[in-house]
């Protein structure tokens, strides 16, 4: 069973307590879909399950680093300040420059590292281990793949660890995991709230 690698900086809001069942919401502040679909759903789930499920929001960055940063996350949590494409969407459609449904569950910013730091650590092996059947590859195949992965990440100056180590597809992403950080479900993009609600209920029963 795959492990969820939750590598965040200090929590900016709330207190995250690991429960038998937990859900992480990985988003970017410059991601309109995260605000249109992700936050409202997570706020609803938090109201329904906060006594039995651990909740954490992880603001990450894999693009648009001038917007997707810790400073803008703090502004969002303090007064709902929007930036970039998210601000443009709410301005155009609703005449709003602030987000009205500020999340109340625990939130932290992803750990940001350089490609050099990542490549010189054992974390690069975690990325390899996510690849299906990697353990069955020959030593030569493993070495070729490792070289390709290192070459790819060497070109990326800023790397968000939670997003990268879990090889997430994008944002919004929702990861359900247990108290040993075993992944119980991964969902990407616009989700039906009832699907996640049913998943949580089944895991708690």
pLDDT tens digits along 62-78: 999 999 999 999 999 99
Which DSSP string corresponds to the chain? -PBP---EEEEEES-----SEEEEEEE-TT-HHIIIIIHHHHHHHHHHHTTTEEEEEEE--SS-TTTSSHHHHHHHHHH-B--HHHHHHHHHHH--SB-SS---S-EEEEPEEEHHHHHTSTHHHHHHHHSTTGGGS-HHHHHHHHHHHHHHHHT-SEEEHHHHHTT--SSSEEEEEETT-BEEEEEESS--HHHHHHHHHHHH-
Residue 118 has pLDDT above 90, yes or no: no
> pLDDT per residue over 136-160, tens digit each?
888 888 888 888 888 888 888 889 9
Q: Would the pLDDT of 1 be above 70? A: no
Is pLDDT larger for residue 37 or for residue 125? 37
The mean of the pLDDT values for the chain is 93
């Amino acid at each position: 069973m795959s492990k969820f690698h939750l590598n965040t900086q200090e929590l900016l809001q709330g207190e995250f307590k690991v429960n038998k069942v937990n859900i992480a919401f990985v988003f970017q502040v410059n991601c309109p879909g995260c605000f249109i679909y992700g936050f409202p759903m997570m706020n609803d789930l938090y109201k329904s399950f906060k006594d039995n499920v651990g909740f954490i929001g992880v603001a990450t960055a894999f693009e648009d680093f001038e917007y997707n940063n810790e400073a803008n996350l703090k502004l969002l949590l303090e007064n709902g300040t929007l930036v970039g494409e998210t601000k443009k969407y709410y301005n155009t459609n609703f005449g709003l420059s602030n987000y009205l449904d500020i999340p109340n569950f625990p939130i932290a910013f992803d750990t940001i590292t350089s490609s050099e730091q990542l490549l010189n650590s054992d974390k690069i092996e975690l990325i390899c281990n996510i690849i299906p059947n990697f353990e069955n590859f020959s030593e030569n195949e493993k070495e070729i793949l490792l070289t390709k992965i290192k070459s790819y990440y060497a070109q990326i100056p800023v790397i968000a660890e939670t997003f990268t180590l879990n090889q997430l597809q994008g944002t919004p992403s929702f990861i359900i995991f247990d108290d040993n950080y075993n992944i119980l479900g991964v969902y990407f993009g616009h989700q039906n709230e009832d699907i996640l609600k049913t998943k949580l209920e089944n895991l708690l029963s």
